Structure 1
């Protein structure tokens, strides 16, 4: 068998190697819950894992592009890592009725100070499949107009918005200045798209 061959095609839904014995919720918050899951296998016996479940649907990120070809990135102070990041606008639904598109529109307005007439969802990915059952949906927003921004929480009351060309943003991904996963995925996707356009 050559290195390019495989014994079977990839199937993400094939039979599970573990059996779920029980599950109980041990943490509940506005954005996510944590379940304690008991599992077993014939060889390893029983063991526990902790799984993060997102509330109110997907997380959302918005890759926006101004008419002059610049991407708004928001400076955010992130408590878990005690550092500042540059990120595309993003967030979560405030209630179960708010759709991912609604979140995209709200976050672009609140965080970056823009509205858009065109939104296209171009990606959806698992954040940390090793311990979280939570997706992020990415939207491409164009035909922007400036709008008043909102105040934020105590971590970053009113973060700065910086505008970068796609080439500048790409270089910041490559050199490690941008470390936020949704922002990296969005910028690389746009950088490799034909004509740098995700709206088709």
Structure 2
């Protein structure tokens, strides 16, 4: 097999399909859903449901305390009917709330920490096959414990567990941590944050 590259990847080249119509069929606090009709090559019609994120990126925070530990939040997730361990994360309250402000708010609300420094270190598309949702990952340093907020009815006893990066990495490899944003953040941290310091 040849390793020769014949054409550089161009994510912005013209679309192979034509959008014919779009109708919003659902709007909620975090997202909306559009029913979209397309024409493929050869004028073949097809339909898709597209999930649109409201108010900007999801923001997630990988925070390291002075002992090199990461706060991971226990969450009960209704769609999958299971508990997860996740880095703190959330959405803007409105279109004016800046990503770094969301990071500071969610770190305090979910994990009970304030941070001196925030650095964005990654951004990714969550599920490009049916959604335009992006997640921005922030690295937080200089942690100070503070009070947490009550987060909602689905997780009445939300616990924060502190793990070293090595422990969190082993839980990713073992499949204990399955949440995508947490997996990406921990693997990226394991690869090193020297360039962010």
SS at match of 2:107: helix
Q: Contact 2:90 / 2:106 at 8 angstroms: preserved in 1?
A: yes
Q: Which moved more, 1:2-11 or 1:125-134?
A: 2-11
For 1:118-166, what per-residue CA distance to the aligned partner results, in whole angstroms no more than 9, with x for missing partners? 0000000000000001100000000000000011111112410000000
- Deviation of residue 3 (structure 1)? 2.2
- Deviation of residue 76 (structure 1)? 0.3
Q: Contact 1:63 / 1:89 at 8 angstroms: preserved in 2?
A: yes
Q: Contact 1:21 / 1:39 at 8 angstroms: preserved in 2?
A: yes
- Deviation of residue 109 (structure 1)? 0.1
State whether structure 2 residue 196 is matched by structure 1 residue 199: yes
For 1:101-130, what per-residue CA distance to the aligned partner results, in whole angstroms no more than 9, with x for missing partners? 111101100000000010000000000000
Between the aligned partners of 1:97 and 1:191, the Cα distance in structure 2 is: 33
**Number of positions where the alignment pairs a residue of Structure 1 with one of Structure 2:** 197
Between the aligned partners of 2:103 and 2:196, the Cα distance in structure 1 is: 15
Partner of 1:22: 21
Q: CA RMSD in A?
A: 1.2
Moved over 3 A (4+): none
Point out where structure 2 has 5 or more consecutive residues left out of the alignment: none
Q: Contact 1:140 / 1:198 at 8 angstroms: preserved in 2?
A: no
SS at match of 2:6: coil
TM-score, L = length of structure 1: 0.95
Q: Which moved more, 1:91-100 or 1:146-155?
A: 91-100
Partner of 1:187: 186
- Deviation of residue 198 (structure 1)? 5.7
Between the aligned partners of 2:109 and 2:179, the Cα distance in structure 1 is: 19
